């Protein structure tokens, strides 16, 4: 295999290195796409044309072209801090309760086909994760990195699971139409997109119930993690003060 056939794969190490260095994922993916295009001989103008074509055809690049700079500006001017400060004023707010509310709303809107109302770039990173983290900070004070990461992971999981099971209820969603086309190509013609959407409802309800149960355990899990971290910190503090 010559090096020319491997050039289209150059974007893979770019993504791996970018994620390993904890750079912004959106920027990493865009750079990987540009690097791959230039490596295979596409000029910059053709690359921009391809990005624009994909954007207008599927709107999948809206996150990169429009949302990224807006979110970057909002974060620069303190969006995360304001979200955490607002949550700190609500005494009854906990990380789990905030995530529960988001999960229900996200799955409901996805079922109506409104997938773009939420998402990792425009909602989870700048709003949901800081709000859930702020509730924990308000309750426990300073938190170590591994507990902060745990809260962020649960926030990301809420969005993923809610959209995954909610979007199939919307009969005009691409995956539903793909399933319908696949069934018809294999001779199953008595199934309509409406039937697929209706049968997705029990699955979405089951996912909702299971994830609500999972989130009810989150606050207790965070409490155990914080107590264990504090117990570990006490001997270390005593050693420092000696």
Q: Interhelix angle for 25-39 vs 11-20, to 10°?
A: 160
Say yes or no to pLDDT of 2 above 70.
Answer: no
Which residues, other chains included, contact 100 with Cβ-Cβ below 8 Å and sequence gap of 6+?
212, 215
Share of the chain above pLDDT 70, in %: 85
pTM exceeds cut of 0.75: no
Q: How far apart are CA 49 and CA 58, in angstroms?
A: 14
Confidence of residue 101 (pLDDT cuts 50, 70, 90): very high
What per-residue confidence (pLDDT) applies to 63? 54
* DSSP 3-state of 123: helix
Which residues, other chains included, contact 75 with Cβ-Cβ below 8 Å and sequence gap of 6+?
126
Give me the mean pLDDT over the 110-118 stretch: 85
Confidence of residue 45 (pLDDT cuts 50, 70, 90): confident
What per-residue confidence (pLDDT) applies to 1? 47
Which residues, other chains included, contact 219 with Cβ-Cβ below 8 Å and sequence gap of 6+?
94, 95, 96
CB burial of residue 179 (10 Å; 0-12, 13-18, 19+): middle
**Token representation of residue 78:** 């303190």
How many beta carbons lie within 10 A of that of residue 176, not counting itself? 20
Return left, alpha or beta for 143; rule: phi > 0 is left, psi -120 to 50 is alpha, else beta.
beta
- Span 203-234, pLDDT tens digits: 999 999 999 999 999 999 999 999 999 888 77
Say yes or no to pLDDT of 4 above 60.
Answer: no
Say yes or no to pLDDT of 49 above 60.
Answer: yes
For residues 6-40, one letter each, b for 16 or more C-beta atoms within 10 angstroms of the residue's C-beta and e for the rest, the string is eeeeebeebbeebeeeeeeebebbbebbbbbbebe
Q: Between residues 10 and 95, which one has the greater pLDDT? A: 95
Range of 30-44, 70-84, 104-118, 171-185 with top mean pLDDT: 104-118
Give me the mean pLDDT over the 32-59 stretch: 74
Spacing of C-alpha 56 from chain mean position? 23
Say yes or no to pLDDT of 64 above 80.
Answer: no
Range of 63-77, 111-125, 127-141, 222-236 with top mean pLDDT: 127-141
Assess contact for 100 and 112: CB atoms under 8 A.
no
Q: How far apart are CA 229 and CA 147, in angstroms?
A: 9
């Amino acid at each position: 295999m010559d090096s020319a056939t491997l050039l289209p794969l150059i974007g893979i190490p770019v993504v791996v290195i970018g994620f390993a260095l904890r750079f912004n994922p959106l920027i990493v993916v865009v750079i990987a796409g540009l690097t791959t295009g230039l490596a295979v001989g596409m000029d910059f103008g053709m690359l921009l044309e391809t990005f624009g074509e994909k954007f207008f055809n599927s709107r999948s690049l809206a996150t990169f072209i429009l949302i990224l700079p807006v979110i970057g500006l909002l974060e620069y001017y303190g969006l995360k801090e304001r979200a955490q400060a607002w949550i700190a004023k609500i005494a009854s707010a906990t990380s789990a309760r905030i995530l529960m509310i988001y999960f229900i709303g996200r799955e409901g809107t996805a079922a109506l086909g409104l997938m773009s109302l939420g998402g990792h770039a425009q909602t989870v990173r700048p709003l949901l994760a800081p709000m859930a983290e702020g509730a924990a900070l308000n309750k426990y004070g300073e938190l170590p990195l591994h507990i902060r990461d745990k809260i962020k992971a649960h926030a990301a999981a809420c969005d993923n699971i809610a959209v995954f099971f909610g979007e199939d209820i919307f009969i005009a969603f691409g995956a539903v139409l793909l399933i319908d086309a696949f069934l018809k190509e294999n001779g199953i013609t008595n199934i309509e997109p409406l039937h697929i959407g209706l049968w997705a409802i029990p699955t979405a309800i089951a996912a909702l119930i299971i994830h609500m149960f999972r989130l009810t355990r989150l606050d207790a899990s965070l409490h155990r993690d914080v107590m264990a971290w504090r117990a570990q910190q006490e001997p270390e503090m005593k050693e420092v003060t000696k």
